Amino acid sequence: MSKSGLYRNLSDEELLLHVAQKQDQEAFNMLYRRYAHLALGVCMKYLGNPVLAQDVTQTVFTRIWTDAANYQVRKFRPWFYTVVKNYCLMELRKNDEHADISENTLAAFMESDDQVHRKMKEEELFVIMQDCLRRLNDYQQVCMKYFYLQQKTYAQTAELLDLTEKEVKSHLQNGRRNLKICVKQKWDNDAI
């Protein structure tokens, strides 16, 4: 088995330990592959700016690389999620020193590990679904957006796209199937 294959079988906590103890680049790369998209999704949710979200994501991973030995992490996912949220809040405060952090945001930091883990899974699924939606062909993508996101009827969607209702139904059916396949593949790959 290749070296990267061995790392694929390690838990997140074991990978972080390799980074902390040995500055192991391969272990760090595996953590990055597993979590960069999730961090970016969380940052986009809080910051709303793709460039800033990318910067914060890179900052989080840089700090993990340089400071891994300082962390005592029992469960990586909830810890990582909290770290990313903290960096987002620090960025929001830095950009507006007088920003008032809402009670909802503060309450999120008081959540139990189970709630944090569940929220991470939901956000990870949301990021995967967004990516998979972008991969659909144009008509499937637009039909899905009109019908599900904008809650247009078959007739309204057909009129907007200059299609028949039968064509809209076909694009929706194929879009749902392709979306389901894509999400399942990405979810299964990320779970490794």
CATH code: domain of residue 168: 1.10.10.10
pLDDT at residue number 62 = 92
**Looking at the structure, do residues 8 and 99 belong to the same domain, yes or no?**
yes
pLDDT at residue number 109 = 44
Does 129 fall in a domain?
Answer: no
Report whether 54 contacts 60 (CB < 8 A): no
Token output for 53: 């979200």
Which segments of the chain have a pLDDT < 50?
1, 98-113, 191-192
pLDDT at residue number 118 = 63
Could you tell me the residue range of the domain that residue 144 belongs to?
136-192
pLDDT at residue number 70 = 85
**Looking at the structure, do residues 69 and 142 belong to the same domain, yes or no?**
no
Report whether 129 contacts 179 (CB < 8 A): yes
CATH code: domain of residue 41: 1.10.1740.10
**Looking at the structure, do residues 72 and 152 belong to the same domain, yes or no?**
no
Residues near 107 by Cβ (< 8 Å), separated by ≥ 6?
none
Q: 175 vs 36, 126, 187, CA distance in Å?
A: 27, 17, 18
**Looking at the structure, do residues 104 and 17 belong to the same domain, yes or no?**
yes
